Amino acid sequence: MNQPSYTQGRQDKPLLAMTIGQAFDQTVSRFAEREALVVRHQQQRYTWQALAASVDLHARALMALGLKTGDRLGIWAPNCAQWCISQFASAKIGVILVNINPAYRTSELEYVLKQSGCQWLISAGAFKTSDYHAMLGELLPDLAQQAPGQLRSERLPELRGLISLDPQPPAGFLPWERLGWLASETAPADFQARQQSLQFDQPVNIQYTSGTTGFPKGATLSHYNILNNGYMVGESLGLSEHDRMVIPVPLYHCFGMVMGNLGCITHGSTMIYPNDAFDPLLTLSCVAEEKATALYGVPTMFIAMLDHPQRPDMDLSTLRTGIMAGATCPIEVMRRVIGEMHMSEVQIAYGMTETSPVSMQTGPDDDLELRVTTVGRTQPQLESKIIDEQGCIVPRGQIGELCTRGYSVMLGYWGNPAATSEAIDPAGWMRTGDLATMNEAGYVCIAGRNKDMIIRGGENIYPRELEEFFFTHPAVADVQVIGIPDERYGEEIVAWIKFHPGHSASEIELQQWCKSRIAHFKTPRYFRFVEEFPMTVTGKVQKFRMREISIEELIKR
């Protein structure tokens, strides 16, 4: 019989049986005077000791707001020092941080706040084209008349208050600068008691993933889940207190807050944010001027940096390692990253939010072909298997669905036991929805996605969610959304639309309609207006045929 498509990761690296707060404090005690956090666009620098002082101050302030263990605190902001401080302050008092995509618009924000039952929200004032204050004012029209902490809203019944990162927010917001003043209302002994009462298996984070049923699902992650995943990623990279990691990926993703922040705090490495959002020149100059040794990014970020006209003038010689993830990496891009950016030990990582996120990773010594044709082998202390439609493990080399089991698998989808039971079987296996093969050495190659997920520039987009959204347009009778290959972003979105009789809309009108209602990365680049969709004889839509037609018309033309 052929060897089955099942592997265990290395078992010689013990897992960390502690909370995020305990791990953070251990690092602070070891490296107090070393640099912990550099936020270039805010011109802020923290030693571990200074960062700990700010984290503890804001943790006590959050307790003073009435936040208890298990309560939810939303954060809706781009990368900044306050994001990092909030991540660790909330973890220290057992409050569950709810990551909210900075690109979300009003309807998405309302859904996430209500579904998670956030009691408080930390919000930026504005970011790019988004006016956060205005959107919150739209959701909460009586906000200006209500004191912070005494908010009452029928639309968001559990929300009690809003904290703004803007120094002069509108009425109804508590400014971040004043939040720290409340710390004195929490006795140090009460803060200490709260920390000591926490267990590492308790939830600490909710991250929303686009749902195949049209609504995002909140992957609920524990201290144990994400602390250990960040630790294992850092172990594979060989991180230490001498490493300086540039993190241009968003903190609201696991890539930023787990693989980045938690990977650093478990090894004493310096976290460096080059900007509030990715900018190739600012990232390159940050690497050069901060003498970074590690750099993270999705392939489109690395392509933008490699192709920037000022890159040859930058001294990137201190770079050693990093991770490219979020989409398939072209072999030429990997060659250039190794050769032109000095990242000889760059690695590929694969996973999903529901698995904290990384479940497969290449190693520093894997040859170039393995680093671009596979997603590596099973991470330490995890198991992987590939199964057929009956749930049986397939032989090596045969295609099937990839499943993961172990410490990294989420606690479940917040408030959604039905979706949890569909995703995680009774034996604890998480079904990824990705089709894969495993070779004789245990390396896994991703062959496709059986959930039709689109990955555009590292963002996961589920067609069903977009289809549900387009049905709310008065002219749209039916819609099908697919992804097609794109050299820059990996994939682009195509929406096939049928109009109601007597109705119509142009491509520009639909894109403008999307702009104010959904995140920019979910807006289709292409539209195709049709009378009918390709169908099977039994009446099922043939998305594969739609994809073939779209590629022929839009790429090969």
156-170 pLDDT, tens digit each: 999 999 999 999 999
Contact (Cβ atoms closer than 8 angstroms) between residue 314 and residue 285: yes
Beta bridge partners of 426: none
Please tell me the distance from the alpha carbon of residue 441 to that of residue 367, in angstroms, as a whole number: 13
One-letter amino acid at 488 equals: R
pLDDT at 193 (0 to 100) = 98
Could you give all domains of the chain from N- to C-terminal order, each with its CATH number?
6-14+218-449 (3.40.50.12780), 20-199 (3.40.50.980), 454-554 (3.30.300.30)
Please tell me the distance from the alpha carbon of residue 231 to that of residue 295, in angstroms, as a whole number: 16
pLDDT at 213 (0 to 100) = 46
H or E element in which residue 49 lies: helix 48-64
- The mean pLDDT of 270-279, rounded to a whole number, is 97
pLDDT at 536 (0 to 100) = 54
425's tokens: 């079987």
Contact (Cβ atoms closer than 8 angstroms) between residue 252 and residue 100: yes
The residue length of the chain stands at: 557
Please tell me the distance from the alpha carbon of residue 336 to that of residue 302, in angstroms, as a whole number: 9
Contact (Cβ atoms closer than 8 angstroms) between residue 125 and residue 169: yes
Place of tokens 């052929």: 2
Please tell me the distance from the alpha carbon of residue 386 to that of residue 398, in angstroms, as a whole number: 9
pLDDT at 383 (0 to 100) = 98
Find all residues with CB under 8 Å of 552, minimum gap 6, and list them: none
Looking at the predicted structure, is the pLDDT value of residue 256 above 50?
A: yes
- Residues 372-398 have pLDDT tens digits of 889 999 999 999 999 998 999 999 999
- Residues 228-253 have pLDDT tens digits of 999 999 999 999 999 999 999 999 99
Please tell me the distance from the alpha carbon of residue 352 to that of residue 341, in angstroms, as a whole number: 27
> 239: which DSSP letter?
-
β-pair type (35-39, 400-406): unpaired
Distance of CA 166 to the CA centre of its chain: 24
Q: Whole-prediction pTM value?
A: 0.86
Find all residues with CB under 8 Å of 127, minimum gap 6, and list them: 77, 78, 102, 276, 277
Give the three-state DSSP class for 70.
coil
Choose among 245, 320, 255, 257: nearest CA to 290: 245
For the chain, the average pLDDT equals 94
Please tell me the distance from the alpha carbon of residue 234 to that of residue 458, in angstroms, as a whole number: 21
- Residues 185-213 have pLDDT tens digits of 999 999 999 999 999 999 999 999 864 44
Beta bridge partners of 8: 383
